[in-house]
Amino acid sequence: MVHYDSNEFKQKLSQVYNEVSKELFGFGTSLLKTSVHPEGIVLYARHRRSPRSTALEGEIPALKYEVDFYMSMIYKKKLKSRLEEELGLQIEVLLRDYDPATQWAVTNIILQDEVQ
């Protein structure tokens, strides 16, 4: 049985999160906090601003927001897959909200089995 509140689990969770970030954006987060509750797992992440994102924001803001939306969708899909494969989690749902203005993302993970 996995102890979801162990430091080892939280470190691996953070490692997978950052690996997905590096794959998609070229670098990890500048701040990442994990929180495990009986109701699920929450990750608070501050992402680094991509130079491409800054350029798009200055020239074509609407396109930048559209790209942010789709990249967030891809991020969710990859993160869910990797967490299930590498940590053996059975994820019911992975919800992620990203705020482009502040670069903060909050990810909520609800597991099929109750978190212990």
- In tens, the pLDDT along 7-44 reads 899 999 999 999 999 999 888 899 999 999 887 899 99
Q: Global pTM?
A: 0.85
Q: How many CB atoms lie within 10 A of CB 21?
A: 21
> Is 105 exposed, middle or buried, given 0-12, 13-18 or 19+ CB atoms closer than 10 A?
buried
Domains and CATH numbers, the chain: 9-111 (3.30.980)
Tell me if 34 sits within 8 A of 100, measured CB to CB: no
Closest CA to 33 of 91, 114, 104: 104
